[in-house]
Every structure is written in structure tokens, then in C-alpha cells.
């Protein structure tokens, strides 16, 4: 599982001009602590069983790690569908967390919405607007890597200029890795974005579908409701 997670992270890092992270699978918390280095790019994703949570529907959540003094995440392995299959696989959950930790490790990045007529900033979460996958081949298996948006997803220029946007798409580039989105700021069928009104500071969500908060399952919705989640930290009430 380590290699396809690294490949997924490398694809995202290349697009965003970030150093590609090394994914290390550690089976013991003591090893995790002994290998810890005080680096702002070091964000652990810890796999635990569902008995560590009082809510059996939780799948994964963000939290603040007091040991590393960094944001981190947990994936509740027993709540996932399978290792790499199903709508809420362990691999996809980990991949999503790794990419968002790569792009927004401190959970504090906001960017202007590309539609200049709006008065909103968008939370800089790399996977939420799409929340789907693409296959990463490794050892005879197609692993579901987390799809992610590109820097151009935030481009006000490409949003406003239809001809420029057409040339951009014709060049083979896209607003997400899968090239499924057609313009900046677009939310995919399973995605959502967190918006903050610049005038009032009010935080809200916008999803393309009627599914609550872009959650594809009760697992994901429960994760967004967790008191340590990004949604809760931003003041959202689900």
C-alpha cells in the first residue's frame, strides 16, 4: 500500500510544485514516536480500529496531535469498506488525508473564489471539491488514488475568459487531475466546498448534489461532525 500512496502524493506534489512526501507504514506507535522529526511537512495518518471511537459510524477525521504539535488524521480501519475496494476504502481514505495534509497542513488556507462577483473565500482543501478517485496500478492491483484539484481551479482569469479557458482545456491540462471539471471553482458530483463570507465571516458549505455536505455516506457525514474535524474547527454546524 505504501508505493501507490506515494505515487498518488507525488502526482499531486508535482502539480502543486511541492516536495513529494515519503509514505512510511509503521505498525507500532512507539516506532512512530521514535521516527518523529519536528518538520512542518510531517503529518501522520494513523490507522486504528473502530473501538477507539464512541461513534461507530465514523470513518476518518482530522485532529490536532499534541505530541507532534501538528495536524494529523485517523482512519478507523474497521469502518472502511475494504482495503482498496468499495465506496469508503481504507486506501482512499488515507490517500485523501495525505493529499490534503500535503496542500493544507495547518488547515488555515483560504483563497478567493475564482468567480470575482462573489464575496467568498474557499477553504484550500485539495480533494473535497471532487471526492472521487483514479486508478494507480501497482503489483497487479488498481488502487483508488484520491483525485485532486489543480492550481488553476482557483484561477479568476480562467473563470472570466471563456476563450482562454477553452484553450487551457484543449492543451490537455485540467482543473482536476481526472480532467472531469470544466471550469475554475466547479464542484464535482460527489464533491463539496467550504466557503467563508468575507464580509461577515460566516462559514457554510456548497455541494453540487443534494447529498448532505457532499458526504457520500453516513460515515463521511459523521466524520465531518466529529469535534476534532476540520468542519467543526471552522465553526460549521452539520
Cα–Cα distance for residue pair 72/66, rounded to 1 Å:
10
Query: What confidence category does residue 212 fall into, taking pLDDT thresholds of 50, 70 and 90?
Result: very low
Cell of 115: 468567480
Cα–Cα distance for residue pair 86/80, rounded to 1 Å:
8
Cα–Cα distance for residue pair 60/46, rounded to 1 Å:
10
Neighbours of 170 (CB within 10 A): 8
Residue 146 has pLDDT above 60, yes or no: yes
pLDDT digits over 57-113, tens only? Answer: 566 666 666 666 666 677 776 666 677 887 778 888 888 888 888 888 777 889 999
Residue 24 has pLDDT above 80, yes or no: no
Strands, E, within 147-232: which ranges?
192-197, 203-207
pLDDT digits over 167-205, tens only? Answer: 999 999 999 999 999 999 999 988 889 899 999 999 888
Q: Where are the domains of the chain?
A: 2-233
Amino acid at each position: 500500500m505504501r508505493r501507490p500512496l506515494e505515487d498518488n502524493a507525488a502526482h499531486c506534489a508535482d502539480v502543486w510544485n511541492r516536495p513529494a512526501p515519503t509514505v512510511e507504514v509503521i505498525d507500532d506507535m512507539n516506532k512512530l514516536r521514535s521516527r518523529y522529526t519536528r518538520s512542518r511537512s510531517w503529518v501522520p495518518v494513523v490507522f486504528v480500529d473502530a473501538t477507539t471511537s464512541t461513534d461507530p459510524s465514523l470513518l476518518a477525521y482530522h485532529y490536532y496531535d499534541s505530541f507532534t504539535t501538528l495536524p494529523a488524521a485517523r482512519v478507523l480501519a474497521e469502518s472502511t469498506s475494504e482495503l482498496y475496494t468499495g465506496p469508503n476504502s481504507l486506501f482512499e481514505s488515507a490517500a485523501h488525508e495525505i493529499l490534503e495534509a500535503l496542500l493544507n497542513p495547518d488547515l488555515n488556507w483560504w483563497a478567493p473564489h475564482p468567480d470575482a462577483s462573489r464575496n467568498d473565500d474557499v477553504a484550500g482543501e485539495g480533494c473535497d471539491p471532487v471526492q472521487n478517485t483514479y486508478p494507480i496500478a501497482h503489483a497487479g492491483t488498481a488502487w483508488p488514488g484520491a483525485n485532486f484539484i489543480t492550481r488553476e481551479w482557483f484561477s479568476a482569469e480562467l473563470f472570466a475568459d471563456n476563450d482562454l479557458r477553452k484553450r487551457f482545456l484543449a492543451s490537455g491540462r485540467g482543473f482536476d487531475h481526472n480532467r472531469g471539471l470544466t471550469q475554475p471553482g466547479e464542484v464535482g458530483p460527489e464533491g463539496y466546498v467550504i466557503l467563508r463570507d468575507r464580509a461577515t465571516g460566516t462559514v457554510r458549505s456548497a455541494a453540487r448534489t443534494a447529498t448532505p455536505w457532499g458526504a457520500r455516506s453516513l460515515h463521511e457525514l459523521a466524520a465531518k461532525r466529529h469535534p476534532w474535524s476540520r468542519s467543526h474547527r471552522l465553526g460549521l454546524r452539520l
